[in-house]
Structure 1
Amino acid sequence: MLDSKSPSTESNILACDVGLKRIGLAQYTQGIVLPLPAILRKNRNQASQDLRAILAQKHIDTLVVGLPSGGQANHQDTITRIKHFVGLVAFGGEIVYVNEDYTSQEALENLNYLGRQSRALAQKDGRLDSLSACYILERYLQSL
């Protein structure tokens, strides 16, 4: 039985791992977490419009955004940048921030079976970022 905080299988949740070059995406739908193609960032306006379009197209209820824990002083700039970007998206649903520490490392470790060139391509085309978004989404789901 689901408690009131648990997402139902009808919930549509999107997680994003916001970076300077790519925005990794993962969706929770029908009870499963799926990576989506990453948004390749040309500028923040284009990226926020692309994200807004995906949120509308997929009928997303909740946007989960990865943030560094802020344990180091240099993370504050990143936190500020990510929150500013999310503000540009103009999403009317619920926005939840989740600790993203080490999700990129976890994602990279899960690609160890790939050869060096394939891992490099996964980093470049955004697959690694979307896998990281899957971990962010799983952390959110586990916290419920």
Structure 2
Amino acid sequence: MLDSHPRAESKGNILACDVGLKRIGLAQCLQGIVLPLPAILRKNRKQASDELRALLAQRDISVLVVGLPSGGQAHYEDTIARIKHFVGLVGFGGEVVYVDEDYTSQEALENLNHLGRQSRALAQKDGRLDSLSACYILERYYLRSL
């Protein structure tokens, strides 16, 4: 998963996020390597959007990559609308790119199979799983850009 991306620096600083109801997983490509960042634990939309906005400014992000479930199925329409509304609240002035996030959480969970059951549960609760999902979202962005 943590492959080198030599063309990563050409678009500036890029951050990926996996927006959920309780946590927002984050990942960034640093020196060509996709790395998870600490997740934002969501208390409410305002707090979460404020924290994400501050992080985007602090890290001088020019591209925000956001995971969306693939469309076509009616039960995803609400989720897609909720995620896009949240991104609008952030008020990011750079480029926003939406990427298919299907199965990224499952891939991230499989990546934690080496952990015991309690450690996996903690990784879900503290947002590490969400940030691993954001890594996969960022990987998909780079693969799409090739």
Same-fold call, TM > 0.5? yes
Spell out, residue by residue over 1:19-67, the C-alpha distance to the aligned partner (whole angstroms, 9 max, x if none): 0000000011221111000000000010000000000000001000000
Relative to the length of structure 2, the TM-score reads: 0.92
More helix by share: 2
Q: Is the 8 A contact 2:18 2:137 kept in 1?
A: yes
* CA 1:29–1:10: 2 relative to 1, 3 Å: farther
Structure 2 equivalent of residue 77 of structure 1: 78
Structure 2 equivalent of residue 3 of structure 1: none
Moved over 6 A (4+): none
- Structure 2 gaps of 5+ residues are 1-6
Q: Is the 8 A contact 1:104 1:128 kept in 2?
A: yes
1:1-144 paired onto structure 2 within 5 Å? 6-8=7-9, 11-144=12-145
| Deviation (angstroms), 1:10 | 7.2
The percent of aligned pairs where both chains have the same amino acid is: 80
Query: Which one-letter code corresponds to 1:79 in the other structure?
Result: I
CA distance in 2, matches of 1:73, 1:29: 37
- Structure 1 gaps of 5+ residues are 1-5
Query: Which one-letter code corresponds to 1:134 in the other structure?
Result: C
CA distance in 2, matches of 1:134, 1:9: 19
| Deviation (angstroms), 1:90 | 0.5
Q: Quote the RMSD (CA, aligned, Å).
A: 1.1
Relative to the length of structure 1, the TM-score reads: 0.93
